[in-house]
Amino acid sequence: MDFIIIILLKALEIYSYILLAYAFMSWIPGLYDTFVGRLVIWLVRPILLPFRNLRLQFMGLDWTVFIVMIVLNLAYRFLYYWLIVL
């Protein structure tokens, strides 16, 4: 059971880096058209779409990625706590 939780923790960590790359790619619009850009978009869109319905675009910024990263961080902490306690 511990092994599965450790794998999930690593997957969450890697996914948070992919989200960070997605956020940085928005600063350079041409990056979305590259192979890596399309791959990152393909990996990130399924998670971002439910949060886009929350209308987190205000003050000229899209806060969706930030909120998703907070949710991933909470999931990471929950799994880590579960690994330590159990």
Residue 57 or residue 12, greater confidence: 12
Tell me the domain boundaries of the chain: 2-85
Query: Residues 80-85: contacts with CB within 8 Å, 24+ apart?
Result: 80/9, 82/5, 83/2, 83/5, 83/6, 83/9
| pTM, entire model | 0.83
Span 41-66, average pLDDT: 87
pLDDT value at residue 3: 86
Residue 2 or residue 49, greater confidence: 49
CB 16 within 8 A of CB 44: no
57 forms beta bridges with 62
Q: Write the DSSP assignment of 2-36 as a string of letters.
A: HHHHHHHHHHHHHHHHHHHHHHHHTTSGGGGGSHH
User: Which range is most confident: 47-51, 52-56, 57-61?
Assistant: 47-51
* Average pLDDT score over the chain: 88
